[in-house]
A and B are shown apart, each in its own frame.
Chain A
């Protein structure tokens, strides 16, 4: 039995093997697939619906859809992309929150304009805190800060940042899952990451 990969983005090969075993009727392969993708699915579902309870229903509902459709999965996209697309469709049709109309989210600058002079040069430049941010002493505060900031981001930014930076999807996969253009994906990623950097900066300067 292959070892379950507990950390890091899921590997495509392991998914393919588990899908083959699922098709062959192995229950344990199903549980392993669920385990591998559960966290990413729940995070994404949470971004579309109003409560964790509803998000969990969307995730379960998605897996029922996966079981029914697994024989039709052609493998043109990765299993994960296929899975997350089903999830997004279910979450949208649950429709508690409808985010499709929100194109890009807020349009603020990456850095407050007041920190640059009239020529656009830094007046209040970034301080050096990167090494400190790797310090174990700050780990918990920073993780909490990132969680809070993610929760406060406009939904689309949050979805893109989580899929890219937490779940490790490629930009191509994110575009497929969320049905957005490459350019749109980059704008959302840029705004989301810029917000997170600002939040970390504030946290590190407080520390």
Chain B
């Protein structure tokens, strides 16, 4: 079967569009095999996949600041109002 490209091989341009499905485990078994066999022979796509993983890691480092004491007070007010409403 020649669905995509010659000898069923994926082109680099297709690989970069399948990276997320690959990382999400959403490729079919045969797609995954083709994806991985492409990576074995392609250092550039291997690098690309590593960059996507690095991107996910770097994005995961973002952290917002903790709740300020002032905001804690506001939320205590919310709680207390609710308590007096509920009782």
Contact = CB atoms under 8 A, between A and B. Distances in A.
Contacts of A25: 83
Interface in B45-81: 45, 47-48, 50-52, 54-56, 58-67, 71-72, 74-76, 78-80
Report which residue of B13, B63, B76 has the largest number of chain A beta carbons within 10 angstroms of its beta carbon. B13
Interface residues of B, number: 43
A191 to B, nearest CB: 9
Q: Is the interface of B mostly helix, strand, loop or mixed?
A: helix
A125 B45 CA distance: 8
B62 to A, nearest CB: 5
B8 to A, nearest CB: 14
B12 A121 contact: yes
Nearest to A171: B24
Contacts, number: 130
A180 interface: no
Interface in A167-204: 168, 171, 182, 186, 189-190, 193-194, 196-197, 200-201
B55 A113 contact: no
A96 interface: no
Contacts of B13: 109, 111, 113, 116, 120-121
A171 B75 CA distance: 30
Contacts of A74: none
